[in-house]
Chains A and B, each alone.
Chain A
């Protein structure tokens, strides 16, 4: 269960505006990555995002580069989940692998605005916004297991017994 305040963005939010290329090859800890989150899309985001906030966006969120920092920086900024009608496939994987839930919500994202509150029930696969409740498909078990372990690296350590 996750309840949070919404940051709303449009279609095709790409990885360059989430995490600019000029930082991509500079070694950085996640906390520093968070300072650059959405820098070229919404310069006010990084300074005022609160832990538990939720990003709601249009289709094809995270298109572009394979840079994992695009997911890591949002996770480190405290974002609890990203909700969109569709995600680019590499971003989708990177988010799950960073332990950041991504929710493919076919309907309803256009009704949600910045500052609204939404409540997500991951087990039930429902998102509540004002008086409406929307359903989203459950993740396949292979993918859910990664998310539940907090991301790919902790998951693999568990599987390999190296943790």
Chain B
């Protein structure tokens, strides 16, 4: 019997010929990521009693969650993190403003096929889009990784999600992943490794595959893999920090389940408050008033997302009473968007441009909601209280749905603009 992608990567990292589902292995990740939580991790690391970070070259630190600091406590944490990375020789440090970690790692060529990447952030699954095995861990585990470079992982069973057909504009990978999560539930792939496959995935850009992998965690998955292909290799050509060996599942791998979806039949989807699997077609919530619209985050803050939104916003104004917040996912994307005139389009439409970073996504910083307000967002979570007041409502949709809704002031089917 062949092995799945997850089995092959874990066997490789554990130095074994084969691992089976359920087997616990001790491995050393290739790359470990942390962000603003590095301040807390550094304090835990100090408690372990090990003076130096082992293998500092394997760690990446990105300040993105509360940048620039809005309160003194954040500023203090950032200051401690800067001192920690300098003292420990962690040179892969990206200070406030460079971008969201899940965008920065791919851009800098750290998210490579066949790598095992762990991050103290649940959306670390994003790097599965590049053919990496990438999963989230906790802060204590990251502190122990600083000390020992080692961690235990259990070999997960695998779901294969095959998507046939083609998405038709303005329907996007976001609509597809919302549909999948809505169908199988927030625990539908709990503890599973997910492998995305099929014509629709093959036809997707890397940015779109990142949406699928990013949100794998929202159905409980441990990682969300897309097979690397010519598009992956060409993206990495000028970026990859080292050579890499892509890992593919064996053709006779043993899948616990294979699920089929059809992209051609799909329309825009929206996740309603307060769970990501509370999904229905946009028509069913059309007309719901929104006071805020958010375009950005590690899910949908890339060029193709901004371009799609700009198609709708070009020459139009956002509705009175709506705040449209735009956050490119990184400095690189911000520059590209400036060059293409997209930022011009957004600002002329009445949008507020925020700095690359997580911004309002997690309610710790900018753009929080008041009780009774509703937001349509391209982010990945709509949990109660996630963006400020627990009495506010968050709807999740694609960049097209967010732009269309910002223009009308109510949740709107973006197909009306195409």
Interface residues of A in 71-100 (CB under 8 A from B): 71, 86, 88-90, 93-94, 97-98
- Which residue of B24, B48, B139 contacts A160 across the interface (Cβ within 8 Å)? B48
- Which residue of A17, A71, A90, A163 contacts B136 across the interface (Cβ within 8 Å)? A90
Q: How far is the CA of A60 from the CA of B218 in the complex (A)?
A: 11
Number of A-B contacts (CB under 8 A): 139
Contact between chains at B49 and A157 (CB < 8 Å) = yes
Contact between chains at A12 and B186 (CB < 8 Å) = yes
Q: Does B383 have its Cβ within 8 Å of any Cβ on chain A?
A: yes
Residues of chain A with a CB closer than 8 A to B44's CB: 153
Residues of chain A with a CB closer than 8 A to B141's CB: 93, 97, 152
Q: Does A66 have its Cβ within 8 Å of any Cβ on chain B?
A: yes
Contact between chains at A59 and B187 (CB < 8 Å) = yes
Q: Does B168 have its Cβ within 8 Å of any Cβ on chain A?
A: no
Contact between chains at B49 and A27 (CB < 8 Å) = no
- Which residue of A20, A65, A66, A71 contacts B137 across the interface (Cβ within 8 Å)? A66
Contact between chains at A162 and B48 (CB < 8 Å) = yes
- Which residue of B47, B138, B190, B390 contacts A93 across the interface (Cβ within 8 Å)? B138
Binary contact track B62-100/A, C-beta < 8 Å → 1, others 0: 000110000101101100000000000000000000000
Stretch in B143-151, B172-180, B319-327 with 4+ CB within 8 Å of A:
B143-151
Contact between chains at A86 and B187 (CB < 8 Å) = yes
Interface residue tally on A, bucketed by range: 35 or more
- The 10 nearest A-B residue pairs measured at CB: A162-B49, A60-B187, A16-B383, A40-B385, A21-B362, A94-B138, A68-B138, A66-B136, A40-B390, A66-B122
A residues with CB within 8 A of B:
11-12, 14-17, 20-22, 24-27, 39-41, 59-60, 63-68, 71, 86, 88-90, 93-94, 97-98, 140, 142, 151-153, 156-157, 160, 162-163
B residues with CB within 8 A of A:
24, 36-37, 39-40, 43-44, 47-50, 65-66, 71, 73-74, 76-77, 119-122, 124, 135-141, 143-144, 147-148, 152, 154, 186-187, 190-191, 220, 222, 275, 277, 362-364, 368, 381, 383-386, 388, 390
